[in-house]
Amino acid sequence: MSEKKIKDTKNILNDKELEFKRAKESNRADKIIKAIKEISSNLPNIDFHQLPQEVSDFIPVDIIVSELFGSLQSKSITKEQSNIDLQVIKSYTTKLNYVHRLLTLNNKVAWISNFEMTTLSKINIDDKIRTVKNISVQVYDMSLTASKDMLLSLSGSTDVSLLTTKTGEIKPFLSVSPLIPLGIHVTKHNEIILGVMEEGGTYNLTDKSCRKVILFGMDGIQKQSYEYDKHKQRLFTVPIRITSNVSNDILVINRTSDYDGRVVVLDRERHVKWTYQGHPQVNSGNKLFNPQDIVTTSVGHVIVNDFIRQAFHVLSGEGNVLTCKVMEDMEIIYPWSLDIDTEGQLWVGCESEDAKSCDAKLHTVKFS
């Protein structure tokens, strides 16, 4: 890239940064999201080469300095990586402007929520969507229990709440006061994993900031807490989404700004097994990795949606990239939420192309 092009690009990025700061100062989520979309669609083009037949992999080695920083080494793409495929099976239209959270009970019944519209809906899905129950509640995250009831983290509350799905009753289940619950996940072993932060916290961390992931039993008793790694470094900035895998690892989407984030994977002993900050073909330069949700498959694959890039990142259980696919050509626009149903199908809840329209899509995707 020439010196002039670098200078021009820098000036454009400075202007875009100013636009985003103005939107952020409004403290309105719709204006911030709209600004991100407009900025990302008008950024300078950066040409990417086709994916190579080898990728860079982070390999820790034995000496102390390299254990801290690791090294980048070339690693051949395996046959498994080249065989991953994602195909849209069916698409449905909701009455929401975006599907913020999504939980499937099976391949015909799901719960969907919209944070802005303060609504949580149970839907039946056949040729079209039919709403069978609406509950007025502002859900930040939700997860199913073994009894098919739901644990909720709610806006502004220091409680995790229990929704009894048969009656629609919502009541406090456990408190993390004075902290605020964020991402929530119930494991297959019936444990609760919860991301928390202090009330009024921002992305700028201080000595008083408390950002951690807590493991509870279903009796509400804390089993473990994850805030710092073995080098006394903070693990999280804002842990917005959490899941687990077949190895019982904890996978967290950690937001580091309104438009950037990464995946952090821990074992139960606080060791960071791997992290992921996007694919160079999609997220290099100023095209940041913007993850919003994460799921794992029955064989341990990890699927992360990249909201702004409209891409799915599929990783192995060891953090290797199996595929990174932009889904816009399949008409998956602005994917917000993910879930895998009892048939192994991937469900994707999206935002409307026009954020003011209440016609957000819900897609079923075959993953093979």
pLDDT band at 97 (very low <50, low <70, confident <90, very high): very high
pLDDT band at 237 (very low <50, low <70, confident <90, very high): very high
CA distance 121 to 107: 16
Does 50 have pLDDT greater than 50? no
At 350 the pLDDT is 95
Q: What is the pLDDT of residues 273-307, one digit of tens each?
A: 999 999 988 887 788 999 999 999 999 999 999 99
Return the exposure string of 42-79: e unless at least 16 CB atoms fall within 10 Å of the residue's CB, then b: eeeeeeeeebeeebebeeeeeeeeeeeeeeeeeeebee
